[in-house]
Structure 1
């Protein structure tokens, strides 16, 4: 998997306490129990760390973690 995907899954496990065994590329945020408030916080963290705008709507529009990682990567200028 990509560095962006690994960074996303690390944030989900460390900051949002999602069990690592539940994380897989085809999982959705809903599958992982990540609600809209957590998605908003996640988008802020990603934006701050990458220096680009990643909105919660960008992440909500992604249906899987793999798609969310792709969305993040498309807005990221430098590697994570």
Structure 2
């Protein structure tokens, strides 16, 4: 996925997504100078940052634990928008 795709999904700017990559908050890789993000890493990040009272830290579908990641970097408004999104 491109930063633009993620930004559209999260209703933020592509620059915000790029800054999160630079800060190490989002796993990414480069193809030349272009930033690319794996969909499973985006989903994992969303699960970590939009947890509810009924959620658990176990992300067994990805084989990782939520506690191993960096801080979210999203504003409270961005987190609220993500929580309201229907599951795909």
Bin the TM-score by the shorter chain.
Answer: under 0.3
**TM superposition score normalised by structure 1:** 0.28
**TM superposition score normalised by structure 2:** 0.26
Structure of higher RCO (CA pairs closer than 8 Å, 6+ residues apart):
1
The structure with more strand, counted as a fraction of residues: 2
The structure with more helix, counted as a fraction of residues: 1
Specify the structure having the higher radius of gyration (Cα). Answer: 2
